[in-house]
Structure 1
Amino acid sequence: MKIEAYDRLAEPGRLTELARYDLFDPALRAELDVVAMRSAKLLETPVSLVSVLTADRQQIIGSYGLVGWVATPQGAPAEWAVCSRTVLNGEPYCVADFSDDPVHAANPFLANSGLRSYLGVPLATPDGLMLGAHCVVDSRRRIYTDVDMAILSDSADEAMEALAKYRT
C-alpha cells in the first residue's frame, strides 16, 4: 500500500466522527479490554487489540496480552500498524505469517515484536465510517478460518456498542 493511501486516514469526516468518542474514559477502556480478552480466549491467541486510527497513528484503546516494550507505546505509526490496512480496506484483513508476506516482512515493529499472524475486522459506524479495527495477533503462523472471522466480527460489534455509549 503506497504512503499516499495513508492520507485517507486524515479524511475530515472520519476524524470528526472519531473526535466524538471519549476514548480516554477508563470505563470505556475497561469494557474494551474485556472484549479483547474474550476474543483472545475464544480464538486462542496471545494478543487481541481494539484500536482506532488517527490521521497518522494507531491508538490502542482496548487490549489483552500486550507485554513488555510492545505495550509501552500504546500504538504505532499508521505505516507500521497492520490495523491500518483493515481500516483503509474497510473489510477484514488476514495475514498467516508476516515473515512470508512481502507487504509486512520489512515492518520494523513486527520484526522486533515476535508477532507472526493477524486477523482484523473494521470498527465501522452505522454510516460506514471506519474508525479502527479489532484484531487478534499470534506469535505463530496461523491460518484463520471463516468461523474465526465470524467470532471476531461479533466481538467488533460489541466493541462498537461499547464505543457508542461514549459518543457525544
Structure 2
Amino acid sequence: MNNTFGVSIIPDNEVERVKKLHDYQILQSEDNGPFKHIAALAAHVFKVPIALVSFVDSERVFFKGNVGMEDVTDVERGISLCSLSVMRQQATVFKDALKEPCLLKNPLVAGEFGLRFYAAVPLTTHDGYNLGSVCIVDKEPREFGIDDQITLEYMAKLAMDELELWKCKLYSESRLQDSSAQ
C-alpha cells in the first residue's frame, strides 16, 4: 500500500479491526441514507464544502456519507486522511495542512485538490475498534475549538448508532430468512 504520510497508518489491532468492520457488511451497502444525512448536517453546521462519513478497510477508504465529493465513493487508504483518524481515540485536527510535516507529500494537500483543513472523530465500536470517521474538510485553514470537537463527536456517535441499527437490521433479516427456510 502506498503511504503518503511517513507515519504508520496501520493500528496494532488491524486484523481484528478490519474483521469487525466487515461484520457490519456496510461496505457493500447501497443504502447510505442516514450517513448522507449526517455528512450533510456536518457540512451545514460547520459551513465546510466537504463532509464525509468514512469506513477504513485494509486497502481503501469508503465514503458512505458524502457531501462535496459525491463523485468519489472510495480512495486509496494511503492518501486518505481518514486513515490517520483510526489511529487515535480522540479527534484528529489539522487546522492548516501546509504546516503539518506528515501531510506535505500527500497529493490531497500538495496537489490541485488543495486540502487545507481537516477534522475527524473516529467511529468507535463499544469494544474500542475504530472503523472509520466523521470528518470535515475545507480548502482554507480554519480554527476548530473544543465546542466544535464536541459537536463532531456527537455526530460520530450518531453515525455509530446508525451503524449498529444497520447491523441489527441485517441480523433480523437473516433470522427471518432462516425461519422461513424451515
State the match for 1:45 in structure 2. 48
For each residue in 1:49-95, what CA deviation from the matched residue of structure 2 results, as whole angstroms up to 9, or x when unmatched?
0001111221111111215xxx33x2222221111111012321000
Matches of 1:102 and 1:118, distance apart in 2: 14
Unaligned runs of 5+ in 2: 172-182
Contact 2:118 2:136 in 1 (8 A): yes
Contact 1:10 1:55 in 2 (8 A): no
Matches of 2:6 and 2:95, distance apart in 1: 21
Contact 1:83 1:132 in 2 (8 A): yes
Matches of 1:9 and 1:165, distance apart in 2: 27
Contact 2:116 2:139 in 1 (8 A): yes
**Number of residue pairs matched by the alignment:** 162
For each residue in 1:20-73, what CA deviation from the matched residue of structure 2 results, as whole angstroms up to 9, or x when unmatched?
11313333x111000000011111111100001111221111111215xxx33x
* 2:146 maps to 1:143: no
State the match for 1:112 in structure 2. 112
TM-score (structure 1 length as normaliser): 0.88
Contact 2:48 2:138 in 1 (8 A): yes
* 2:74 maps to 1:75: yes
Matches of 1:66 and 1:79, distance apart in 2: 18
Contact 1:35 1:155 in 2 (8 A): yes
RMSD of aligned Cα (Å): 1.8
**Among residues 55, 62, 66, which one is paired with 1:63 in the alignment?**
66
TM-score (structure 2 length as normaliser): 0.81
Bigger Rg over Cα: 2
Matches of 2:90 and 2:6, distance apart in 1: 18
Question: Could you tell me how far 1:113 is from its partner in structure 2?
Answer: 1.1
State the match for 1:33 in structure 2. 36
Residue 43 of structure 1 aligns with an amino acid whose one-letter code is F
For each residue in 1:90-137, what CA deviation from the matched residue of structure 2 results, as whole angstroms up to 9, or x when unmatched?
321000111222111221133221221011000000001110111000
Unaligned runs of 5+ in 1: none
Query: Any idea what SS the aligned residue of 1:159 has?
Result: helix
Residue 56 of structure 1 aligns with an amino acid whose one-letter code is E
Structure 1 residues 10 and 126 mapped into 2: Cα distance closer, same or farther (>3 Å)? closer
Sequence identity of aligned pairs in percent? Answer: 26
Question: Could you tell me how far 1:2 is from its partner in structure 2?
Answer: 4.5
